[in-house]
């Protein structure tokens, strides 16, 4: 076996071994992923599924009696299997495709590839991220599924958005940009609890 082929085989072996460990350890999301003030215990997360999200938030430059500000317009994201994203991060040159699991739309409706959907109904906690100037906040939201049953988003009652990076406007809103739209990309982990 040539050296490059051997190194690639070794790398893939390491990845598969790491995935076996990850699969064994992440059947239930860790309570450590969530801010302490949310008061979640591992037992409360038994019927949960987590997904890695890449998306954007859109803002419009607006003004009121307190001055110029970025008004939130919408958030859209694609949700992927966490294991697929770990593979993408670890493999560099090994072609692996992340598996699209769900999408979120304009009115915070999440639609799974199996056809089930859920929408957020209320923000319970809005917790600043580590870098609150650049990162969108972490959210604990109540939710309502479109139906009950055995599909992925059927009977979901709570959605958590954690591990956020990016998503806040990275330019100033002022008189010269009044009415203009701005998109900011972000990543996060979304957890759906039944």
Instruction: Express each pLDDT in 7-33 by its tens digit.
Output: 443 344 334 333 333 333 334 566 667
**Per the structure, how many domains does the chain have?**
1
Q: How confident is the model at residue 131 (pLDDT cuts 50, 70, 90)?
A: confident
Instruction: Find the mean pLDDT for residues 110-117.
Output: 95
Give pLDDT tens digits for 36-79.
Answer: 888 888 788 888 899 999 999 999 999 999 999 999 999 999 99
Q: Rank 15-19, 88-92, 94-98, 104-108 by mean pLDDT and report only the highest.
A: 104-108
Q: How confident is the model at residue 2 (pLDDT cuts 50, 70, 90)?
A: very low
Closest CA to 132 of 164, 108, 162: 164
pTM: 0.76
**What's residue 36's pLDDT?**
82
**What's residue 37's pLDDT?**
83
Report which of residues 14 and 91 the model is more confident about: 91
Which residues, in sequence order, are CB contacts of 151 under 8 Å at separation 6+?
112, 114, 115, 116
**What's residue 38's pLDDT?**
87
Report which of residues 94 and 147 the model is more confident about: 147
Give pLDDT tens digits for 140-193.
Answer: 999 999 988 889 999 999 999 999 999 999 899 999 999 999 999 999 999 999
Are the beta carbons of 119 and 108 closer than 8 angstroms? yes
Can you give the residue range of the structural domain that contains 142? 3-193
| Cross-strand partners of 185 | 56
Torsion of CA 145, 158, 53, 77, to 10 degrees: 50
Q: How confident is the model at residue 130 (pLDDT cuts 50, 70, 90)?
A: confident
């Amino acid at each position: 076996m040539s050296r490059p082929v051997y190194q690639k085989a070794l790398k893939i072996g390491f990845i598969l071994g790491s995935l076996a460990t990850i699969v064994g350890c992440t059947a239930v999301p860790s309570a450590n992923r969530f801010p302490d003030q949310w008061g979640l215990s591992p037992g409360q997360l038994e019927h949960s599924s987590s997904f890695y999200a890449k998306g954007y938030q859109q803002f419009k430059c607006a003004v009121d009696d307190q001055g110029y500000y970025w008004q939130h317009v919408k958030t859209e994201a694609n949700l992927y299997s966490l294991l697929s994203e770990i593979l993408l991060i670890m493999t560099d040159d090994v072609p692996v495709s992340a598996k699209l699991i769900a999408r979120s739309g304009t009115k915070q409706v999440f639609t799974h590839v199996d056809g089930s959907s859920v929408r957020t109904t209320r923000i319970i906690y809005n917790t600043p991220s580590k870098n609150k100037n650049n990162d969108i906040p972490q959210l604990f939201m109540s939710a309502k599924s479109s139906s009950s049953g055995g599909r992925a988003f059927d009977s979901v009652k709570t959605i958590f958005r954690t591990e956020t990076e990016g998503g806040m406007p990275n330019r100033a809103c002022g008189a010269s940009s009044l009415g203009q739209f701005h998109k900011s990309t972000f990543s996060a982990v979304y957890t759906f609890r039944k």
